[in-house]
Amino acid sequence: MLRTLAFDADDTLWHNETHYAEAQGAFRDLLRAYHDDAWIDARLHDTEMRNLRRYGYGIKGFTLSMIETALELTDHRLDGAGLRKVLAVGQAMLDKPVEPLPGVVEVLEALQAEFTLMVVTKGDLFDQEAKLAKSGLASQFERIEILSEKDEAAYAALLRRHRLAPGEFTMVGNSVKSDILPVLAVGARAIHIPYHLTWAHEVVAPPPDSAFPVLASIRELPALLAAW
Protein backbone atom coordinates (compact mmCIF):
# COMPACT_ATOMS: atom_id res chain seq x y z
CA MET A 1 0.00 0.00 0.00
CA LEU A 2 2.74 2.53 0.93
CA ARG A 3 3.82 2.97 -2.66
CA THR A 4 5.25 6.44 -2.50
CA LEU A 5 7.72 7.64 0.09
CA ALA A 6 8.25 11.39 -0.05
CA PHE A 7 11.08 13.24 1.64
CA ASP A 8 11.39 16.84 2.62
CA ALA A 9 14.80 18.21 1.53
CA ASP A 10 16.15 21.02 3.76
CA ASP A 11 17.20 19.62 7.17
CA THR A 12 15.86 16.19 6.23
CA LEU A 13 18.22 15.21 3.40
CA TRP A 14 20.89 17.87 4.01
CA HIS A 15 21.82 20.70 6.40
CA ASN A 16 20.03 23.98 5.81
CA GLU A 17 19.05 25.76 9.01
CA THR A 18 22.68 25.68 10.21
CA HIS A 19 23.59 27.80 7.15
CA TYR A 20 20.89 30.33 8.03
CA ALA A 21 22.11 30.38 11.65
CA GLU A 22 25.69 31.00 10.46
CA ALA A 23 24.53 33.79 8.15
CA GLN A 24 22.56 35.34 10.97
CA GLY A 25 25.71 35.22 13.12
CA ALA A 26 27.65 37.13 10.45
CA PHE A 27 24.78 39.61 10.21
CA ARG A 28 24.88 40.20 13.99
CA ASP A 29 28.64 40.78 13.86
CA LEU A 30 28.09 43.51 11.29
CA LEU A 31 25.49 45.34 13.36
CA ARG A 32 26.85 44.75 16.86
CA ALA A 33 28.15 48.35 17.05
CA TYR A 34 24.55 49.52 16.75
CA HIS A 35 22.38 47.01 18.67
CA ASP A 36 22.45 43.93 20.87
CA ASP A 37 22.07 40.46 19.39
CA ALA A 38 18.53 39.76 20.60
CA TRP A 39 17.23 43.00 19.12
CA ILE A 40 18.97 42.36 15.78
CA ASP A 41 17.51 38.83 15.62
CA ALA A 42 14.02 40.06 16.48
CA ARG A 43 14.05 42.84 13.87
CA LEU A 44 15.37 40.51 11.17
CA HIS A 45 12.65 37.99 11.96
CA ASP A 46 10.01 40.74 11.76
CA THR A 47 11.30 41.88 8.36
CA GLU A 48 11.32 38.29 7.08
CA MET A 49 7.74 37.72 8.20
CA ARG A 50 6.57 41.01 6.71
CA ASN A 51 8.23 40.15 3.39
CA LEU A 52 7.16 36.49 3.20
CA ARG A 53 4.04 37.43 1.24
CA ARG A 54 6.25 39.20 -1.33
CA TYR A 55 9.40 37.09 -1.43
CA GLY A 56 8.33 33.61 -0.40
CA TYR A 57 10.92 31.26 1.12
CA GLY A 58 14.57 31.07 0.21
CA ILE A 59 17.99 32.64 0.37
CA LYS A 60 17.35 35.50 -2.08
CA GLY A 61 14.39 36.79 -0.09
CA PHE A 62 16.38 36.28 3.14
CA THR A 63 19.24 38.37 1.72
CA LEU A 64 16.86 41.16 0.72
CA SER A 65 15.37 41.08 4.21
CA MET A 66 18.86 41.28 5.76
CA ILE A 67 19.62 44.38 3.64
CA GLU A 68 16.33 46.01 4.57
CA THR A 69 16.89 45.27 8.27
CA ALA A 70 20.48 46.54 8.15
CA LEU A 71 19.29 49.86 6.70
CA GLU A 72 16.50 50.15 9.27
CA LEU A 73 18.65 49.24 12.25
CA THR A 74 21.36 51.75 11.38
CA ASP A 75 19.03 54.54 10.34
CA HIS A 76 20.51 54.17 6.85
CA ARG A 77 24.01 54.79 8.21
CA LEU A 78 25.49 51.35 7.42
CA ASP A 79 27.92 52.15 4.62
CA GLY A 80 28.25 50.56 1.20
CA ALA A 81 31.07 48.30 2.33
CA GLY A 82 28.85 46.94 5.10
CA LEU A 83 26.02 46.31 2.65
CA ARG A 84 28.44 44.63 0.26
CA LYS A 85 29.18 42.23 3.15
CA VAL A 86 25.48 41.46 3.60
CA LEU A 87 25.22 40.65 -0.13
CA ALA A 88 28.31 38.44 0.21
CA VAL A 89 26.77 36.55 3.16
CA GLY A 90 23.78 35.66 0.93
CA GLN A 91 25.97 34.69 -2.00
CA ALA A 92 28.12 32.50 0.25
CA MET A 93 24.96 30.66 1.34
CA LEU A 94 24.05 30.01 -2.31
CA ASP A 95 27.57 28.78 -3.06
CA LYS A 96 27.74 26.30 -0.16
CA PRO A 97 28.28 22.66 -1.04
CA VAL A 98 25.31 20.42 -0.24
CA GLU A 99 26.22 17.37 1.78
CA PRO A 100 23.66 14.68 2.55
CA LEU A 101 23.01 14.15 6.27
CA PRO A 102 24.49 10.97 7.81
CA GLY A 103 22.67 7.84 6.66
CA VAL A 104 20.72 9.50 3.83
CA VAL A 105 22.60 7.92 0.90
CA GLU A 106 22.46 4.37 2.31
CA VAL A 107 18.82 4.59 3.38
CA LEU A 108 17.63 5.95 0.02
CA GLU A 109 19.50 3.17 -1.74
CA ALA A 110 17.99 0.54 0.54
CA LEU A 111 14.44 1.82 0.06
CA GLN A 112 14.59 2.33 -3.68
CA ALA A 113 13.66 -1.21 -4.62
CA GLU A 114 10.47 -1.15 -2.57
CA PHE A 115 9.15 2.41 -2.93
CA THR A 116 8.70 5.19 -5.42
CA LEU A 117 10.88 7.87 -3.88
CA MET A 118 9.89 11.50 -4.19
CA VAL A 119 11.19 14.83 -2.93
CA VAL A 120 8.55 17.27 -1.72
CA THR A 121 10.14 20.51 -0.69
CA LYS A 122 9.13 24.13 -0.46
CA GLY A 123 11.13 27.20 -1.28
CA ASP A 124 12.85 28.85 -4.15
CA LEU A 125 12.66 26.68 -7.30
CA PHE A 126 16.09 27.65 -8.58
CA ASP A 127 17.81 27.21 -5.17
CA GLN A 128 16.16 23.86 -4.51
CA GLU A 129 17.00 22.44 -7.95
CA ALA A 130 20.59 23.64 -7.55
CA LYS A 131 20.85 22.02 -4.11
CA LEU A 132 19.42 18.75 -5.37
CA ALA A 133 21.96 18.73 -8.20
CA LYS A 134 24.83 19.59 -5.84
CA SER A 135 23.75 16.92 -3.33
CA GLY A 136 24.27 14.12 -5.85
CA LEU A 137 20.93 12.65 -4.74
CA ALA A 138 18.72 13.75 -7.66
CA SER A 139 18.95 10.42 -9.48
CA GLN A 140 17.60 8.57 -6.42
CA PHE A 141 14.19 10.20 -6.84
CA GLU A 142 11.57 9.45 -9.43
CA ARG A 143 9.72 12.69 -8.81
CA ILE A 144 10.78 16.09 -7.57
CA GLU A 145 8.05 18.43 -6.35
CA ILE A 146 9.06 21.94 -5.37
CA LEU A 147 6.11 23.81 -3.90
CA SER A 148 5.69 27.40 -2.84
CA GLU A 149 3.85 26.27 0.30
CA LYS A 150 3.33 22.92 2.06
CA ASP A 151 -0.15 23.08 3.48
CA GLU A 152 -3.17 20.78 3.36
CA ALA A 153 -4.34 22.13 -0.03
CA ALA A 154 -0.88 21.67 -1.53
CA TYR A 155 -0.69 18.02 -0.39
CA ALA A 156 -4.22 17.31 -1.62
CA ALA A 157 -3.28 18.74 -5.06
CA LEU A 158 -0.07 16.70 -5.06
CA LEU A 159 -1.94 13.45 -4.43
CA ARG A 160 -4.45 14.28 -7.19
CA ARG A 161 -1.64 15.17 -9.62
CA HIS A 162 0.07 11.82 -9.03
CA ARG A 163 -3.21 9.89 -8.80
CA LEU A 164 -2.33 8.60 -5.35
CA ALA A 165 -4.79 7.62 -2.64
CA PRO A 166 -3.83 9.00 0.79
CA GLY A 167 -3.05 5.46 1.96
CA GLU A 168 -0.42 5.15 -0.76
CA PHE A 169 1.60 8.16 0.38
CA THR A 170 3.97 8.67 3.32
CA MET A 171 5.87 11.87 4.02
CA VAL A 172 9.16 12.02 5.92
CA GLY A 173 10.47 15.34 7.20
CA ASN A 174 11.78 17.52 9.98
CA SER A 175 9.00 20.11 10.18
CA VAL A 176 5.87 19.26 12.16
CA LYS A 177 4.17 22.26 10.58
CA SER A 178 5.02 21.52 6.92
CA ASP A 179 5.78 17.80 6.73
CA ILE A 180 3.55 16.20 9.36
CA LEU A 181 0.30 17.97 10.31
CA PRO A 182 -0.97 18.85 6.77
CA VAL A 183 -0.13 15.30 5.60
CA LEU A 184 -2.09 13.73 8.45
CA ALA A 185 -4.91 16.15 7.62
CA VAL A 186 -5.29 14.72 4.10
CA GLY A 187 -5.35 11.19 5.53
CA ALA A 188 -1.83 10.12 4.58
CA ARG A 189 0.96 9.03 6.91
CA ALA A 190 3.88 11.12 8.11
CA ILE A 191 7.12 10.38 9.93
CA HIS A 192 8.95 13.04 11.88
CA ILE A 193 12.76 13.18 11.96
CA PRO A 194 13.61 16.32 13.94
CA TYR A 195 16.65 18.42 13.09
CA HIS A 196 18.56 20.08 15.93
CA LEU A 197 17.50 23.56 14.73
CA THR A 198 14.06 24.72 13.61
CA TRP A 199 13.30 28.07 11.99
CA ALA A 200 11.03 30.09 14.32
CA HIS A 201 8.42 30.35 11.54
CA GLU A 202 8.12 26.54 11.40
CA VAL A 203 7.68 25.95 15.12
CA VAL A 204 4.20 24.70 16.09
CA ALA A 205 2.81 22.75 18.96
CA PRO A 206 1.19 19.62 17.52
CA PRO A 207 -2.44 19.28 18.60
CA PRO A 208 -2.78 16.92 21.60
CA ASP A 209 -4.74 14.35 19.60
CA SER A 210 -2.15 14.01 16.83
CA ALA A 211 0.04 10.94 16.73
CA PHE A 212 2.96 10.24 14.44
CA PRO A 213 6.22 8.35 14.74
CA VAL A 214 9.34 10.34 15.62
CA LEU A 215 12.74 8.96 14.65
CA ALA A 216 16.14 10.03 15.96
CA SER A 217 17.76 9.48 12.55
CA ILE A 218 16.85 8.53 9.00
CA ARG A 219 18.77 5.31 9.71
CA GLU A 220 15.78 4.10 11.74
CA LEU A 221 13.40 4.51 8.79
CA PRO A 222 13.77 1.11 7.06
CA ALA A 223 12.99 -0.78 10.28
CA LEU A 224 9.90 1.34 10.93
CA LEU A 225 8.60 0.80 7.39
CA ALA A 226 9.28 -2.92 7.63
CA ALA A 227 7.24 -3.05 10.84
CA TRP A 228 4.20 -1.34 9.19
**Binding footprint of a copy of itself on the chain (CB under 8 A):** 54-58, 60-61, 63-64, 67-68, 71, 74-81, 83-84, 87, 90-91, 94-95, 124-127, 129, 146-148
| Nearer to a copy of itself (CB atom), residue 37 or residue 149 | 149
How far apart are CB 60 and a copy of itself at their closest, in Å? 4
| Nearer to a copy of itself (CB atom), residue 24 or residue 128 | 128
How far apart are CB 29 and a copy of itself at their closest, in Å? 19
| Nearer to a copy of itself (CB atom), residue 92 or residue 110 | 92
CB-based contact 9:93 (threshold 8 Å): no
How far apart are CB 172 and a copy of itself at their closest, in Å? 22
| Nearer to a copy of itself (CB atom), residue 129 or residue 220 | 129
CB-based contact 28:40 (threshold 8 Å): yes
How far apart are CB 152 and a copy of itself at their closest, in Å? 17
